[in-house]
Amino acid sequence: MAYFDAASAAPLHPVARQALLASLDEGWADPARLYREGRKARMLLDAAREAAAEALGCRADEVVFTSSGTRAVHTGVMGALAGRRRVGSHLIVSAVEHSSALHAAEVFESDGGTVTQVAVSRAGTVEPAAYQAALRPDTALAVLQSANHEVGTVQPVAEVAEVCRAAGVPLLVDAAQSLGWGPVEGDWSLLAASAHKWGGPSGVGLLVVRKGVRFAAQGPVDERESGRAPGFENLPAIVAAVASLRAVRAEAAQEAVRLRELTDRIRTRVPELVPDVEVVGDPERRLPGIVTFSCLYVDGEALLHELDREGFSVSSGSSCTSSTLTPSHVLKAMGVLTEGNVRVSLPMGTAEEDVERFLAVLPDAVAGVREKLGAPAAPAARQGAGEVLVDSLGKRCPIPVIELAKVFGQVPVGGIVRVLSDDEAARLDIPAWCEMRGQEYVGEEPAERGTAYLVRRVG
């Protein structure tokens, strides 16, 4: 089985396993106690904190260990906002942040705060000028991920940090995806990360709060982790997390070159091997191991099952793979095709042969899913009425797009196809189809049921 979902969770690094097992014997006692076993545990915890600080480029007393990366983001966002409540109640986030940041923003907004979401380009990148334009006198905090978890796009953190610093606003960086590849550049104020993203054990997060940042921990606190992460520390997991971070950093430069070549190969060859594919994310400013593409006329969940049967573990941002049946907020913000989406995220050590086998298997897997869905093999050639109505109410994407493609040849140049749909993904995927096909997306109109999406044939 080829595991290609490292962006969700990287396999446990051998160094992490060794450190975990050793710490189970040495680090089981309460590091807050003064007897011998407690002092031994405290030495392990202090050493892990020092090592983490060195890797992060900060002071040891600025590092807090939390129970997860999500908890680190929540604690960091809410603590910084509370600490700066006298400044104001305005929060800035990008539209493609991890759900942990967006959920924290939702809670803040429901409690009376205001939130500005900064838009991104079609490649998923924010512009520092957009953050600058979003800043207000009452802005308490800005949040920006270092690299996107779904498409791998690397954000201009240093430039955004400079803009925020000039305005006196702290910037919290979610570095979960990038920290294993190297430290985060720029004059950021807070940072959050998650150990299972770089090959450490799950259940360990990192939160850095720079000295001088006003911070007020929310909820009940105790004496542990500077009062910012209550509860008994999972010391063996913490030691393993930091040991694995140091290990992957030592391998990062060499592996980055190798994995970037493999993902470049996927980015180039998938559109050559599979028709009607959109490769998404920035082609240059991206993490080494992530490549994401979307296939027209394909149900993402069905494609993932086909690839799983062929021995490949990949993930998807398609709406059909989530219980909410709504499109990925990242792909939606980028304005790209959401259905038939595949994210390949290669862990360190991925074999070249596995990538070649994936490229060999993918075309038949996509073709099989399209055939089952009745996707058109080629555009229809006949011409008829100046307007055609497609009733796709009650059908989930990619079916509305498939039905659009099947009838599109029935209208003459200048003619309109009106697609009725009540699936939110159609609002993204029909315009994406138009862009891929060189046709004109006219817009949408309210309908008695659902929405009417209008497409004009231009050629």
| DSSP 8-state assignment for residue 5 | B
Pairing between strand 90-94 and 139-145?
Answer: parallel
Burial 353-362 (b: 16+ CB within 10 A, else e): ebbeebbebb
Q: How many helices (H) and strands (E) does the chain have?
A: 12, 16
| 320 is annotated as an active-site residue | yes
The predicted structure's pLDDT at residue 385:
61
- The whole-angstrom separation of Cα 337 and Cα 331 is 7
Tell me which long-range contacts 169-172 makes (C-beta under 8 A, separation of at least 24). 169/92, 169/135, 169/139, 169/140, 169/141, 169/142, 170/80, 170/84, 170/141, 170/142, 170/210, 170/213, 171/141, 171/142, 171/143, 171/144, 172/73, 172/76, 172/77, 172/80, 172/141, 172/142, 172/143, 172/144
One-character DSSP codes across 135-177? --TTEEEEEEESB-TTT-BBP-HHHHHHHHHHTT--EEEE-TT
The predicted structure's pLDDT at residue 318:
59
Q: Which residues of the chain have pLDDT under 70?
A: 318-326, 377-385
The predicted structure's pLDDT at residue 320:
44
The predicted structure's pLDDT at residue 58:
97
Q: What angle do CA 250, 251, 254 make, to 5 degrees?
A: 125
The predicted structure's pLDDT at residue 378:
52
Provide the phi-psi class of 289: left if phi over 0, else alpha when psi is between -120 and 50, else beta.
alpha
Report the sign of the C-alpha dihedral through residues 160, 172, 198, 304, in that order.
negative
Could you identify the residue written with the tokens 């209550």? 230
- Look at the chain and count its residues: 459
pTM: 0.92
The predicted structure's pLDDT at residue 230:
86
What are the percentages of helix, strand and coil residues in the chain, rounded to 5?
40, 20, 40
Catalytic pick among 58, 320, 397, 434: 320
Q: What angle do CA 116, 195, 79 make, to 5 degrees?
A: 40
343 CB burial (10 A radius; 0-12, 13-18, 19+):
buried
